[in-house]
Amino acid sequence: MKLYFYVSRALREGQFPFSLLPTRGARMRIARLTLLLSLIFAVSSPVLSQQPSKQNSLESVPTAEFARMVREFSEDGGYFMSDNFTSNETSYLHVIDKLRELGVTGGAYIGVGPEQNFTYIAKIRPRIAFIVDTRRQAMIQHLMYKAIFHLSPNRTQFLSRLFSKPLPKEGAPAPDAPAADFMAFFGKYAATDQAYAANLAEIKKTIQEEFQFPISDRDRESLEYVYKSFRENGLDIAFRLDASYYGGYFPSLKDLALQTDLNGKTGNFLASADDYNFVRGMQKKNLIIPVVGDFSGPKALASIGDYLRKNGLAVTSFYTSNVEQYLFDSAIFEGFAKNVKKLPIDDKSVFIRAVFHMRYTHPARKQDHMSVTLLQRMKVFLKDFDEGLYPSYRELIVTNYIAP
């Protein structure tokens, strides 16, 4: 034992005197011991060890941690001029093939707004996702969605709960049915007061007990307002501007679910059982985290950046919709760029942007769509910003963009 201790210490110090050993046999035994100890040192060394770290093995988020992040990453809620019950971007699928071509997959996803995020999550397949919106009501709506995902093993039950439409005993679409079959099926049935009341109570209970997220009186009002809107409008529910703003046409949830990519293929998260199951799996593992935050604010994006860095993840995709337009309008775009610099990114990280033709006509616009969806490398964005290439929103959307 003394010899082993002496040898191990001498090996660590690099000073073992092999020439002093008296016999060839002793030298052979020490050589074998040397090899054994060197292997032990290699495995235990913090520099050479290849053991997976906690940071590289994020598979789920504990419920208490999920609730903490929603609370502590969030900023004070802000005002926006609309109820974003649904997206208003019919071009949202046009970049799916380009995302696949650019290798945008895995890592962390950041987004804004309502259900279009589920489609991007289903296609990009990130390890974790954060939905950041300045409206607290948007966070409550995502907790509502999370509860409905938890309670609904398939698309049929999801839509039944979302619209407060009880299912008949027979005639529901097959598990692998296309989105059109689900839209047609739920278009035939009416919501009921009984289903609405029972579902709302179950959603509230799930949020407070299973998600460990306490609902204030104001949050309860928001939840009831949003859920009642889905009950009353059904498949026709859509983006809604405040009465003081110009309205115009906005696509319904049914329209969005039936949209196609540039090859004529449907791609909404409700169009495929596999995509629905992926999003539901992330929800059940607490890996889709809604946060109240301004893109230029002091805490939300910075907190997300810190969390991702600690867990060894880079942002692969950041869906901004057209939020940057309003950041320029409010003269706070520089704050957003500074927050982007706090996020861990790599060469494949991209922005996903929507540009609306009501104010800007973009060279990449597609006929029959009120918006065009574009990509841009996040590193290119930061380089261009530092070089002063974005004096206004117009320069942002036409500089170094990647068309669908």
- Determine the average pLDDT of the residues in 391-398: 96
DSSP notation for 291-354: EE--TTSSSHHHHHHHHHHHTT--EEEEEEETHHHHHHHTT-HHHHHHHHTTS-EEEEEEEEEE
Give pLDDT tens digits for 246-301: 455 789 999 999 999 999 999 999 999 999 999 999 999 999 999 999 999 999 99
Work out the pLDDT band at 370, boundaries 50, 70, 90: confident
- Determine the average pLDDT of the residues in 393-404: 95
Four-point Cα dihedral 51, 315, 297, 327, nearest 10: 170
Residue 67: pLDDT above 90?
A: yes
**Average pLDDT of the residues of the chain:** 87
Higher pLDDT, 46 or 36: 36
290 token code pair: 């809604």
Work out the pLDDT band at 216, boundaries 50, 70, 90: very high
239 token code pair: 């983006």
Q: What are φ and ψ of residue 321, in 5° steps?
A: 55, -130
Residue 328: pLDDT above 50?
A: yes
pTM: 0.84
Alpha helices for 152-245 (secondary structure H): 155-163, 179-187, 193-205, 217-233
- For residue 380, the one-letter residue type is V
Give pLDDT tens digits for 106-146: 999 999 999 999 999 999 999 999 999 999 999 999 999 99
Local structure of 355: helix, strand or coil: strand
The candidate with the shortest Cα–Cα distance to 203, out of 185, 190, 189, 222, is 222
d(CA 324, CA 321): 8
Give pLDDT tens digits for 164-192: 999 998 889 998 999 999 999 999 999 99
* Predicted local distance difference test score (pLDDT) of residue 366: 83
Among residues of the chain, what percentage have pLDDT more than 90? 75
* Predicted local distance difference test score (pLDDT) of residue 29: 56
Residue 90: pLDDT above 60?
A: yes
Which of the residue ranges 21-35, 54-68, 203-217, 359-373 would you say has the lowest mean pLDDT?
21-35
d(CA 13, CA 373): 61
